[in-house]
Amino acid sequence: MPRTRSSATPVKKKDAAGRVESPYFNKSGSKKRASAGSSVRPSKRAKVEKDEESDDLNEQFTETDEEEEEDVYKDDNEEDEDTALSDALDDSDFEEKAARKNKAKPKGKPNGRSPAKSTPTKSRKSGDKLDGPEVVGEVVEAPKTGRVPPGMISQNTLDFLGHMQDPKCNDRDWFRLHEPVYRVAEQEWKDFIEHLLEKAGEVDEEVPPLPPKDVIHRIYRDIRFSNDKTPYKRGFSATFSRSGRKGMFAKYHIHVQPGDKSMIACGLWCPSKNELESIRHHIKHDPSRLRDVISSKAFTKHFGASKPDPKGRRQNIFGREDELKTAPKGVEKDHKDIDLLKLRTVAVHKLFTDKEVLDNKFIDHICEVVGDMRPFVHW
């Protein structure tokens, strides 16, 4: 017999809260267990009713969760306001922090080491400004007049070097304020040496075309083992030879210093023990070569007679401070060349006045002396 669908609508039961009771779900929303021996299959209408009932339950649960979240946020906001009020700093906070820091600091020798000594600092008066570096003066601009072409020495350079003779100016603070003046003088000296090397190479082919930075000496002094603690030299200087500024060969040396102390020199200054032994060996075997050089007309014109001065003054290659008073070890006192063998520094120099230094022909005068020095440098 065919089954027929009942037209009667099932009655929905509601609980005390007005919620629809489902034949398949408990009040908590969990699925009811079928009774033993029941094999009734839920109809489509029952499924629809189950879905509607679950939707109602979800809405109720969602509303409840939203209310709880609002309460939680409300409590958090209240706590933040209380915390903000309590975080306001007052004097007591700093006192407590300092007390905790002092309490945590160990006494005696931490980690077995003695406490660090405090470094003395320069104190200022209470009215002085503490922000920024201490002002020691105004920076002096480089002179805009008195410039000279490359290859010449200007009066501005001699004036700057003249200040270096004064201990009050030969000071780091003074030098820092006059550094623009120094930079202009330094560049002028570099240009002068560059032109000098070009012309000196024409007179002495052994002088290579070196860049000025390889032959110029720094203006800063090495004061580690000196009683004179002035930090800067009193003049500009440069040294050049076939090996540059350094090496075992005899060298040319030029020095510019105001007060008529500028000079050109050549030879070997304070040679090492081995170098000095080599020089004396050549003198013992062939002294005539050196005597011919130092007694030539061109050489004596610049440096004087080729014999020691009776009063011990400096003349030619003789009379220097480090010259021996007696014969060196292993040499007879009555040796025929004892005057040469007592030498320790084998060098000569020629002075120039400030007027000659400022002359536009100064570099030509130097090269003339270099040409006359050449045989002595290469003997």
**What pLDDT, on a 0 to 100 scale, did the predictor assign at position 379?**
85
State the Cα–Cα distance between residues 375 and 362, nearest whole angstrom: 22
Strand partners, 251: 267
25 pLDDT above the threshold of 50: yes
Tell me the residue type at 4. T
Contact of 221 with 164, CB cutoff 8 Å: no
**What pLDDT, on a 0 to 100 scale, did the predictor assign at position 238?**
97
Q: Look up residue 16 and give its two tokens.
A: 């005390």
3-state class (DSSP) for residue 267: strand
Q: Look up residue 12 and give its two tokens.
A: 């929905």
User: In sequence order, what DSSP letters do the residues of 270-295 get, joined into one string?
Assistant: S--HHHHHHHHHHHHH-HHHHHHHHT
- What DSSP designation does 217 have? P
Domains of the chain: which residue ranges? 135-267+348-359, 270-344
The shares of helix, strand and coil residues in the chain, as percent rounded to the nearest 5, are 40, 10, 50
Contact of 188 with 148, CB cutoff 8 Å: yes
Mean pLDDT score of the chain? 78
pTM above 0.85, yes or no: no
- The residue that leads in pLDDT, 251 or 1, is 251
State phi, psi for 366 to the nearest 5 degrees.
-65, -45
State the Cα–Cα distance between residues 334 and 216, nearest whole angstrom: 43
Q: Look up residue 230 and give its two tokens.
A: 């002035």
3-state class (DSSP) for residue 362: helix
- The residue that leads in pLDDT, 187 or 38, is 187
pLDDT digits (tens, 9 = 90+) for 101-141: 555 545 554 454 544 444 344 444 444 444 455 556 789 99
Average pLDDT over residues 244-273: 93
372 pLDDT above the threshold of 90: yes
Contact of 268 with 343, CB cutoff 8 Å: no
Q: Which residues contact 264 (CB under 8 A, 6 or more apart)?
A: 252, 253, 254, 255, 349, 350, 352, 366, 369, 370, 373
Instruction: Please give the share of the chain, as a percent, with pLDDT higher than 90.
Output: 59
- The residue that leads in pLDDT, 138 or 233, is 233
pLDDT digits (tens, 9 = 90+) for 265-274: 999 998 999 9
Instruction: Please give the share of the chain, as a percent, with pLDDT higher than 70.
Output: 64
**What pLDDT, on a 0 to 100 scale, did the predictor assign at position 245?**
86
Q: How confident is the model at residue 246 (pLDDT cuts 50, 70, 90)?
A: confident
Average pLDDT over residues 86-114: 50
pLDDT digits (tens, 9 = 90+) for 34-63: 544 444 455 545 444 555 555 554 555 444
Average pLDDT over residues 74-84: 47
CA distances 94 to 89, 90, 104, Å, are 8, 7, 15
Q: How confident is the model at residue 244 (pLDDT cuts 50, 70, 90)?
A: confident
319 pLDDT above the threshold of 90: yes
State the Cα–Cα distance between residues 363 and 356, nearest whole angstrom: 10
- The residue that leads in pLDDT, 334 or 119, is 334
Q: Which residues contact 46 (CB under 8 A, 6 or more apart)?
A: 23, 24
Cβ atoms within 10 Å, residue 374? 20
Q: Residue 51: CA atoms inside 13 Å, Cβ hemisphere, count?
A: 5
**What pLDDT, on a 0 to 100 scale, did the predictor assign at position 348?**
97
Q: Residue 134: CA atoms inside 13 Å, Cβ hemisphere, count?
A: 7
352 pLDDT above the threshold of 50: yes
- The residue that leads in pLDDT, 69 or 239, is 239
**What pLDDT, on a 0 to 100 scale, did the predictor assign at position 248?**
83
221 pLDDT above the threshold of 70: yes
3-state class (DSSP) for residue 350: strand
